[in-house]
Every structure is written in C-alpha cells, then in structure tokens.
C-alpha cells in the first residue's frame, strides 16, 4: 500500500493533520492534495471535531510544489487547491517550522491562525523562477498583510523571517521550535472549549464580512447573532455565567 502523504488523527475535539513527506521537504503533490480534500470532507461531517491543527514532519514545513505537479503535461495544480481547508467551518491552526515557501506558505495562508518557529522563513519565491503564485498566495497574502507588503514579498520573491512575519501579521506568535507543537495545541485547546456554534459563526462573520460593504457585513453579523440566540449553547453560556461555572457546550 502507498504511504500516505498526509495523516489525520483525532484527539478529543481536535483533529490533527500532518504533512508526512519529510524526505522531500513535504513538497505538495497530487496525492497530498487528494488526501487533504478527503480529510476536509471527513472533518466537515464530524460534529465531534471543533478545531483542526496542521503541522508537518521534518526540518521544514514545506518547500513548495512537487516538480512533477508543475510539469506542463500534468496541467499543474487545480484552481484554489487549498480552498477545502479555508472553507472548513472549524477553525484551523497551523504551525510552521524551517522553510515555508511557495505552496507551503499558500497552504498556511488557507488556515485561520498561523504560528511560526523561531527558525521559520516564509515566502512566495515564484517570480525568481518566472512564475506567479498559483495556490491562492497573491490573494490571501494581500488580504492578510496588506497590498504593499504583499507586493514587496511577491515581486522580490524574498522570504521573511519569523519575527518579521509576526510584525506584519502573517503569523500570530513565534515560539522555540521544540515548543511550537505545544503552543499550537494550547491555542487549539482554548478554542475547543468555546461554544462551537459561536466559533463557527464568528469565523463565518469575519471571512464573509470582509468581502462585503461594511453596512451589509454588519447586518450579516446581526443575523448570525439572532440565529445564535435560539441555540442550547447560548442558553448554557448564560446559565454558566450567572452561576459562575464553566459552560458545558454541546454544539446545539
């Protein structure tokens, strides 16, 4: 049987996805994209999963596309190859180490929260090779760090170090390499304790609202709030607050 290039395992309410091609610096090939799509489908229908953590084995998170996928005869990667991850209703926490380049950074950009090891370098070097980012990088990077910084990174093709990535908002935190996984797990654990419906709606409100005029986005936020008021979790949150105890959310 072929060795999977992406593994998934559940630990309580957290689903862990791991890139498992360290011998190729976790280069992204067609098999990995298929496995990622299947994993996202499984997570989407699993009500027990509240948060996803994405990590990679080896020294580097991912150095980009597998050469075979970029061969002219292969047709290249599909449009928005990491959209399945970006569109998950559950939050996705990504922890990157070493070099996180090209498709590696585009994969991380499809996640909701990014953490970086102190040794991480993040970039989209495609222009150095006469290409442009083809996995959503030109769009998601600009929406995250702003037009000016995205243009600088993509046009020069130069990566940024972890501390600079933190300064520009590309990552949320920087941690020692040996503590990176624990930091990602801690953040995921805190999210998993929150009301799962509220978390899902909050992610939806931000992601969809950014594409709307402010007035329309505010109405959308209000609509989600009204729907949330009818849930059991909302009532449980009120009861727990009044009784000064930890809420027991059920996702209903």
8 A C-beta contact, residue 166 and residue 174: yes
How do residues 117-141 score in pLDDT, each as one tens digit?
999 999 999 999 999 999 999 999 9
How do residues 54-100 score in pLDDT, each as one tens digit?
999 999 999 999 998 887 666 788 999 999 999 999 999 999 999 99
pTM for this structure?
0.94
For the chain, what's the residue count? 252
The pLDDT assigned to 2 comes to 61
8 A C-beta contact, residue 103 and residue 115: no
Arithmetic mean of pLDDT, 155-170: 98
How do residues 35-58 score in pLDDT, each as one tens digit?
999 999 999 999 999 999 999 999
The pLDDT assigned to 17 comes to 98
The pLDDT assigned to 58 comes to 96
Give the integer Cα–Cα distance in Å for 106 and 208. 19
Residue 237 has pLDDT above 90, yes or no: no
The pLDDT assigned to 250 comes to 82
Give the integer Cα–Cα distance in Å for 252 and 250. 5
pLDDT > 90: what percent of the chain? 84
The mean pLDDT of the chain is 93
Residue 1 has pLDDT above 60, yes or no: no
The pLDDT assigned to 232 comes to 83
Residue 3 has pLDDT above 70, yes or no: no
The residues carrying an active-site annotation are: 106, 126
The pLDDT assigned to 74 comes to 65
How do residues 181-232 score in pLDDT, each as one tens digit?
999 999 999 999 999 999 999 999 999 999 999 999 999 999 999 998 888 8
């Amino acid at each position: 049987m072929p060795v999977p290039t992406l593994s998934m395992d559940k630990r309580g309410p957290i689903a862990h996805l791991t890139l498992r091609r360290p011998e190729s610096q976790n280069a992204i090939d067609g098999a990995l994209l298929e496995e990622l799509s299947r994993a996202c489908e499984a997570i989407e229908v699993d009500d027990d999963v509240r948060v996803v953590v994405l990590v990679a084995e080896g020294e580097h998170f991912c150095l980009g596309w597998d050469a075979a996928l970029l061969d002219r005869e292969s047709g290249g990667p599909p449009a928005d190859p990491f959209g399945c991850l970006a569109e998950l209703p559950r939050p996705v926490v990504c922890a990157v180490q070493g070099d996180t380049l090209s498709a590696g950074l585009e994969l991380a950009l499809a996640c909701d929260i990014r953490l970086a090891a102190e040794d991480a370098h993040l970039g989209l070097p495609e222009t150095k090779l006469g290409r442009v980012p083809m996995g959503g990088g030109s769009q998601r990077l600009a929406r995250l760090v702003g037009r000016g910084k995205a243009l600088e990174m993509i046009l020069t093709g130069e990566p940024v170090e972890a501390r600079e990535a933190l300064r520009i908002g590309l990552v949320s935190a920087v941690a020692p390499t040996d503590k990176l996984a624990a930091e990602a797990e801690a953040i995921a654990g805190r999210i998993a304790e929150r009301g799962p419906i509220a978390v899902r709606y909050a992610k939806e409100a931000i992601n969809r609202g950014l594409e709307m005029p402010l007035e329309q986005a505010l109405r959308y936020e209000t609509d989600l709030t009204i729907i949330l008021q009818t849930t059991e979790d909302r009532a449980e949150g009120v009861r727990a607050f009044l009784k000064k105890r930890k809420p027991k959310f059920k996702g209903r």
